Structure 1
Amino acid sequence: MDYTLYINEFLILASALFLALLAPGPDFAMILKQSITYGKRASIVSSIGIGLGISVHVIYTILGIGLVISKSIVLFNIIKYLGAMYLIYIGYKSLRSKGMQLQTDSFLIKNEISDTKSFMIGFLCNALNPKATLFFLSMFTVVVSIDTPIYIQSLYGLFCIFATMFWFIGTSLILSQRKVREFFNSFGKWFDRVVGVVLITLGIKVALSK
């Protein structure tokens, strides 16, 4: 079997994913919030959630449901508004936050969050992200041939899941460094306010997008 076509598809897909990860969006804003407010563990768990959230897009795209969504304005709008409402809700919670309190002597954060909640925050952020929906619809309809075997498409999907996961885990490790967190901690409540405004703005932008 000639794998040249699949190698070309993979390289285009990998390049597009890399560029998409470089562009700041809801996922990055969420990881920034988790890293600074709750620390490395919570941020890494959220990163795993974001990566596995991609599996939702991969599954419905490979099953062909993605084609239905791309042809149905109603279904796409439902996904779009759910994602927008989720971002606005998280942004609102951030605006209402009292800010983190970092104990510089032991470098512990008083704020606590469960692994389950951290995971779901990341998972839902990506699974309900209409930009991710558009990305995978375009990749698996324009770049990936309809004749590409399901198992090859599944390998593409697994790559996207783990590449995204490790990207944000790396981002988490950087943002959760002591100096970085102490820097953001100096802003106190203002950091949460800025992140809240960014998330709400992204939510409104998503809701108004066509």
Structure 2
Amino acid sequence: MEFLIIATAHFLALLSPGPDFFLVMQVSIRMPIRYGFALSFGIGAANGVYLIVAILGLQIIRDFSWLMTVLQYLGAAYLIFIGVMLLKSPGTDLDTSEKNNSFLLEQHLGRQFLVGFMSGILNPKNCIFYLSLFTVMVSESTGFSTRLLYGLWMTTVVTIWDCALVSVLGKNSTKERLGRGIFYLEKVSGIMLLFFGLLLPLT
């Protein structure tokens, strides 16, 4: 029962669009699918780091207010940076988009993994969410190995969910349906990332 409650709470949180969703969407519509998968694995790895922190019971991190503040401002700066780059990027055909906005659209698996990892690790809300989840919903009597399985499950679900989004958004048929709307989707993604970045230090 405990696992079902945790898994449900985690999946419902996953359904809420956040910075990761808009990054996944932007990479999926502009780059080959494999780069979207690399981004997704980066996001999953960052979630895994925070899950390890939660599993080890390091709730003490909450007491380091300066660390959370640093994470908030670094995360805000990162999201604002990406948002501005998306807003400044010109409208281009899909097959030539890699020539523009090189930081976000560089066709390098390691770079896309890093972009995803930085997005996840610089979002202090991930840390707070997982610490709260394990503090409130996981019983003290739950064994360490069981907690590890919970963490492995949630990391896997995050990665699979993002990869599924990539698979859908990255299809040629999907891109064809979007057509010129891709340009506006990029701008919407830029605005949302900028919004998340400006809002992050205030929350």
By the TM > 0.5 criterion, same fold? Answer: yes
Structure 2 equivalent of residue 200 of structure 1: 194
Q: Matched residues in 2 for 1:99 and 1:13: separation?
A: 42
Task: Give the drift of 1:19.
Answer: 0.2
Partner Cα separation in structure 1 for residue 56 and residue 175 of structure 2:
42
> Retained in 1: the 8 A contact 2:29–2:175?
yes
- The structure 1 residue matched to 2:18, chosen from 20, 25, 48, is 25
Equivalent residue for 2:42?
Answer: 49
Alignment gaps of 5+ in structure 1: 1-7, 104-108
Match of 1:82 among 55, 63, 74: 74
Give the Cα separation in 2 of the matches to 1:188 and 1:163: 27
- Alignment coverage as a number of residue pairs: 196
Match of 2:32 in 1: 39
In 2, Cα distance between equivalents of 1:189 and 1:60: 39
The answer for unaligned runs of 5 or more in structure 2 is 99-105
Deviation digits for residues 131-161 of structure 1 (CA, Å, limit 9, x no counterpart): 2112101111011123322211111100011
Residue 158 (str. 1) matches residue 152 (str. 2) = yes
Q: Measure the CA separation in 2 of the matches of 1:50 and 1:185.
A: 27
Distance 2:182 2:40 in 1: 24
- Per-residue CA deviation, residues 14-42 of structure 1 (Å, 9 max, x unaligned), is 00111011111111111001101213111
Deviation of the 1:177 alpha carbon: 1.5
Question: Mean Cα displacement is larger for which, 41-50 or 69-78?
Answer: 69-78
Shift of 1:61: 1.6
Q: Is the 8 A contact 1:101 1:185 kept in 2?
A: no
Query: Relative to structure 1, is the Cα distance of residues 142 and 188 closer, same or farther in structure 2, using a 3 angstrom cutoff?
Result: closer
Deviations 1:158-205 (A, max 9, x none): 001101101111111011111322344413543332211110101111
What TM-score, normalized by structure 2, do the two folds share? 0.89
Cα contact 2:46–2:120 (8 A) shared by 1: yes
- How far residue 85 of structure 1 moved from its aligned partner, in angstroms, is 1.4
Counterparts of 1:84 and 1:69 in 2: how far apart (Å)?
20
Q: Which runs of 4+ in 1 moved over 3 A?
A: 187-191
1:47 and 1:21 map into 2 onto residues whose CA distance is 13
The answer on whether the counterparts of 1:100 and 1:188 sit within 8 Å (CA) in structure 2 is: no
Counterpart in the other structure of 2:126: 132
Q: Report if aligned partners of 1:97, 1:189 keep a CA contact under 8 Å in 2.
A: no
Residue of structure 2 aligned with 1:96, choices 88, 91, 112: 88
User: CA–CA distance in 1 between the matches of 2:136 and 2:166?
Assistant: 32
Name the % identity: 37
| One-letter code aligned to 1:88 | I
